Amino acid sequence: MTLPLPTERAGTLAHRTHHLADGREAVFFSDRGTPPVEHIVDQRPLDARSGGGEVRFDRLTGEWVAVAAHRQTRTHLPPADQCPLCPTTGGRESEIPAEDFDVVVLENRFPSLGPGLDELPDPGQVGERSLWGAPSPAYGRCEVVVFTPEHQGSFASLPPERARTVVEAWARRTEALSAMNGIRHVFPFENRGEQIGVTLHHPHGQIYAYPYPAPHAARLAARSRAHLAGTGRALMGEVLADETAAGDRMVLAGEHFSAFVPYAARWPLEVHLLPHRQVPDLAALTGAERDELAVLYQDLVRRVDRLYATPTPYIAAWHQSPVSTADREAGWLHLQLTSPRRAEDKLKFLAGSEAAMGAFINDVTAEQTAARLREAAR
């Protein structure tokens, strides 16, 4: 099966790659019509980058587990005047050595994966038992996506042109990271709210480039491949068609994207946003699709924030296909936005059934959640 190619080279937003004092890359993206940041100098006396963590193979589950003990000293909820993601101004140096910027993607100073890049051993070829007691370097890449120079706010509060620049950054970095040696899966995401576990308040997201398909992505990819082989149809496309026909779980629809609460939602607040056209990742979207995605995604997160009097914590996870050809042919890009907030003053915690068995028990029906999100439109 050959996926349709975009009819245009998407995006006309400028970007430039610079380097921080310890050698990490920082890619500056400019809003449409704004000139790129041509020159920066990071004058901080940073130590050379230290070695990364390790990954260990779990023989019981067949999954890799990353161990990042070196991250224990990472920055944790600093006051605003010490935020490392704000611009460098007034003699205060930050991770971003510029007085102003639009969007910046930089290598994480405390990465769970990387900075080394290489292939992990294949358990099927070397034998799973041979991997026991012999951790492998945690190859890969971890990046921070800084949405704005403003310390306050969220993705929902960004100007429309800035939201479009963030979408472009996700797409460009997905393309670049997918081409790196040993990378098998690229995962952009945003954690919002202390209840989720964020360590910095500044509006930002992250991108993990794994040296293996992450477990959930691997399971979804396997089902998608099997469904395509058995029916000739893409699994997620079939789900989208069925949800559209049912209608009662649909939240919004545009020319290129639709959002719905999945029939078997696991979380009290869960919604999926996906393109009408089968594409494996953000990099494969056309310029018109990226334009609409920026608008509809902001619409969606604003609805989520209108559900309660205070901002709702959430995880916004971009499910992209692993980089293998078979997975890209069967996969379908989609956003999964979830929140543990089940009431104004109550959170759902992953207790025994969910945390130990992976068997979710939801407190709210998908139809109820979809109705509330439809009502939250303004």
Nearest-angstrom CA–CA distance, 219 and 223 = 6
Q: Of 201, 204, 256, 272, which one is the catalytic site residue?
A: 204
Calculate mean pLDDT across residues 86-102. 94
At residue 74 the predicted structure's pLDDT band, cuts being 50, 70 and 90, is: confident
State the pLDDT confidence band at 71, using cuts at 50, 70 and 90: confident
Model pTM score:
0.95
- Long-range contacts: 89-97, Cβ < 8 Å, 24+? 93/43, 93/44, 95/20, 95/144, 96/26, 96/146, 96/149, 97/20, 97/40, 97/41, 97/42, 97/43, 97/44
User: Which stretches of 133-186 are DSSP H helices?
Assistant: 160-178
Task: State residue 78 phi and psi, 5-degree precision.
Answer: -70, 160
Could you give phi then psi for residue 182, rounded to 5 degrees? Answer: 85, -5
Task: With cut-offs at 50, 70 and 90, classify the pLDDT of residue 75.
Answer: confident
The pLDDT, as a whole number, for residue 7 is 38
Phi then psi dihedrals of residue 140, to 5 deg: 140, -160
Averaged confidence pLDDT in the chain: 94
What pLDDT does 12 receive?
66
Q: Examine the residue annotation and report whether 204 is marked as an active-site residue of this protein.
A: yes
Q: Quick one: which H or E segment has residue 290?
A: helix 287-306
> What CA–CA distance (Å, rounded) separates 295 from 219?
30
Which residue segments constitute the domains of the chain, with CATH numbers given? 15-212 (3.30.428.10), 216-375 (3.30.428.10)
Describe the chain by its helix, strand, coil percentages, rounded to 5. 30, 20, 50
Q: How many CA atoms lie within 13 A of 84 on its CB side?
A: 16
Rg for the chain, CA atoms, rounded? 21
Instruction: Show the tokens assigned to 31.
Output: 């809003």
Whether pLDDT at 9 is above 70: no
* Cis geometry, peptide bond prior to residue 160 (ω within 30 degrees of 0): no
Chain segment 31-53, per-residue pLDDT in tens: 999 998 888 999 999 988 877 89
pLDDT of residue 187 exceeding 50, the answer is: yes
Residue burial 12-33, b: 16+ Cβ < 10 Å; e: rest? ebbbeebebebebebbbbbbee
How far is CA 331 from each of CA 179, 235, 269, 292, rounded to the nearest angstrom?
18, 8, 24, 21
Burial of 7 (0-12, 13-18, 19+ CB in 10 A): exposed
pLDDT digits (tens, 9 = 90+) for 104-151: 999 999 999 999 999 999 999 999 999 999 999 999 999 999 999 999
29 pLDDT above the threshold of 60: yes
**pLDDT > 90: percent of the chain:** 89
Mean pLDDT of 223-230: 98
- Whether residue 5 is predicted with pLDDT greater than 70 in this model: the reply is no
